[in-house]
Amino acid sequence: MNKVVYMDYAATTFVKPEVLEEMIPYYTEKFGNPSSFYAVSRETKMAIDKARGNVAKTLNCDLNEIYFTGGGSEADNWAIKGIAYAHRNKGNHIITSKIEHHAVLHTCQYLEKQGFEVTYLDVDSEGFINIDDLKNAITDRTILVSIMFANNEIGTIQPIKEIGAICKEKKIFFHTDAVQAIGNVKIDVKEMNIDLLSLAGHKIYAPKGVGALYIRKGIRIDNLIHGGSQERARRAGTENIPGIVGLGKAIEIANNNLESHAEKMTFLRDKLIDGLLKVPYTRLNGPKGDKRLPGNVNVCFEFIEGESILLSLDFEGVCASSGSACTSGSLDPSHVLLAIGLPHEIAHGSLRLTLGENSTEEEVDYVLEVIPPIIKRLREMSPLWEDFLKKGDK
Ligand SMILES: *Cc1c(COP(=O)(O)O)cnc(C)c1O
């Protein structure tokens, strides 16, 4: 295969041509500032509203409950800090999980320094939180529960509706980071009792640097970005119109094709998983079946390092990720893999392959052809493997 095989869609996606096409006029002729009063600016204001409508429709909420942000991380920061600061008179306790994205985890750690208390729920060996643990963690000081919809590393889809019902009953705000779930899983914020939800453009074929936060009507929340009165005076800054237009178009396409996309991804995912598990001493991280994100594959090859697998795959034209990619520069294995109970040495041998729009069965077959010899070669150079063989001889 001469071309590059991209299997890192959970890290970012390309911008779909239809999405880019909608965006381009807003860089050139339709450049007006939506806060101005002439016709060119009304055009941009209408474009924002159209995009807002598309996001609202996808989530089943009102258009006035959607606020555009500068990406998923900003939406997570805003939801958590905004609720924490606005409701600290009621309580200072927040509940989250150990496998959240760093945009949530590091925000919670920051708030701990500001006097908030945070409970980081454990997860089981497949990455699910335990509902009883959640109930037991709630105190009369708890103001916010933040649990991600679907995990970016191991694909675990949490029981969001159940979590939402508990939070509703206890009158605690429920935020979910749905950056990975959007476009892959049906989301209904009403039915699922979600109060705040984060999403990002660049994981669903819109550009980087644009996202949105859904805030249920009537919720009091502090601003994160102060300044002008954009986004109904809740998120200041001249709007990223092309980005917002792109997000609106991309989410519309994703929502219209949700089932067929998920079906295709699930087929390729399961073929990839089955093939990879034929390599000896390989384990799947995260659940099997419909509680796993359709395009997510994450495995550990024992006795070797994820980074060396990535280098070898790169040499074969395959773009993939290892669990520790987000913290590259540090030698710590992924916090998610440690949280599901993997020992350090096994967590180090992880490989994440994530599928998307342009993935094909041919690519899956190619990856399944190149990986076994790579693993074999790396193990032959591995002192851990040598030790293991020696022990086996005894
Ligand atoms: C990518 C991602 C984010 C961060 O979104 P950005 O737009 O890159 O800031 C947050 N949460 C999850 C689960 C993600 O996958």
Please give the annotated binding residues, written as ranges: 72-73, 152, 180, 238, 326
- Active centre residues (catalytic): 326
* pLDDT confidence tier of residue 304, bands split at 50, 70 and 90: very high
Q: How far apart are CA 178 and CA 199, in angstroms?
A: 6
Predicted pLDDT of residue 41: 86
Residue 130: which of 157, 159, 103 has the closest Cα? 159
Distance from residue 391's CA to the centre of ligand 1 (Å) = 43
Q: How far apart are CA 284 and CA 127, in angstroms?
A: 12
Crossing angle for the helix pair 39-59 and 241-256, to the nearest 10 degrees: 30
Closest atom of ligand 1 to 76 CA is 10
Contact of 274 with 289, CB cutoff 8 Å: no
What tens digit of pLDDT does each residue of 18-52 get? 999 999 999 999 999 998 888 778 899 999 999 99
211 lines ligand 1 (CB under 6 A): yes
pTM equals 0.96
Predicted pLDDT of residue 322: 87
Residue 393 has pLDDT above 90, yes or no: no
151 lines ligand 1 (CB under 6 A): no
Q: What is the mean pLDDT of the chain?
A: 95
384 vs 202, higher pLDDT: 202
Predicted pLDDT of residue 329: 53
Q: Which two tokens stand for residue 321?
A: 């990720």
Q: Which of 68, 96, 180 to mutate to test the pocket of ligand 1 (most atoms within 8 A of CB)?
A: 180
CATH for 17-256 is 3.40.640.10
Q: How far apart are CA 196 and CA 215, in angstroms?
A: 5
**In this prediction, what percent of the chain has a pLDDT beyond 90?**
91
How many other C-beta atoms can be found within 10 angstroms of the C-beta atom of residue 261?
18
Predicted pLDDT of residue 325: 46
Predicted pLDDT of residue 391: 86
Distance from residue 77's CA to the centre of ligand 1 (Å) = 11
- Per CATH, 5-13+258-390 and 17-256 having the same topology is answered no
Classify residue 308 by burial, with Cβ atoms within 10 Å: 0-12, 13-18, 19+. Answer: middle
Residue 300: which of 265, 333, 266 has the closest Cα? 333
Predicted pLDDT of residue 182: 97
What tens digit of pLDDT does each residue of 165-179 get? 999 999 999 999 999
Q: Which two tokens stand for residue 142?
A: 């708890």
Q: Which of 69, 99, 160, 177 to mutate to test the pocket of ligand 1 (most atoms within 8 A of CB)?
A: 177
Residue 177: which of 200, 149, 142 has the closest Cα? 149
**Per-domain residue ranges for the chain?**
5-13+258-390, 17-256
Crossing angle for the helix pair 306-315 and 361-380, to the nearest 10 degrees: 130
Distance from residue 252's CA to the centre of ligand 1 (Å) = 19
Region 218-229: mean pLDDT is 97
What tens digit of pLDDT does each residue of 119-158 get? 999 999 999 999 999 999 999 999 999 999 999 999 999 9
* pLDDT confidence tier of residue 332, bands split at 50, 70 and 90: confident
What tens digit of pLDDT does each residue of 90-104 get? 999 999 999 999 999
Q: How far apart are CA 17 and CA 323, in angstroms?
A: 30
Residue 326 has pLDDT above 80, yes or no: no
Residue 233 has pLDDT above 60, yes or no: yes
Closest atom of ligand 1 to 75 CA is 9
Q: Which CATH architecture has domain 5-13+258-390?
A: Alpha-Beta Complex (3.90)
- In three state form, how does the secondary structure of the chain look? CCCCEECECCCCCCCCHHHHHHHHHHCCCCCCCCCCCCHHHHHHHHHHHHHHHHHHHHHCCCHHHEEEECCHHHHHHHHHHHHHHHCCCCCCEEEEECCCCHHHHHHHHHHHHCCCEEEEECECCCCCECHHHHHHHCCCCEEEEECCCECCCCCEECCHHHHHHHHHHHCCEEEEECCCCCCCCCCCCCCCCCCEEEEEHHHCCCCCCCEEEEECCCCCCCCCCCCCCHHHHCCCCCCCHHHHHHHHHHHHHHHHCHHHHHHHHHHHHHHHHHHHCCCCCEEECCCCHHHECCCEEEEEECCCCHHHHHHHHHHCCEECECCCHHHECECCCCHHHHHCCCCHHHHCCEEEEECCCCCCHHHHHHHHHHHHHHHHHHHHCCHHHHHHHHHHHC
Predicted pLDDT of residue 2: 66
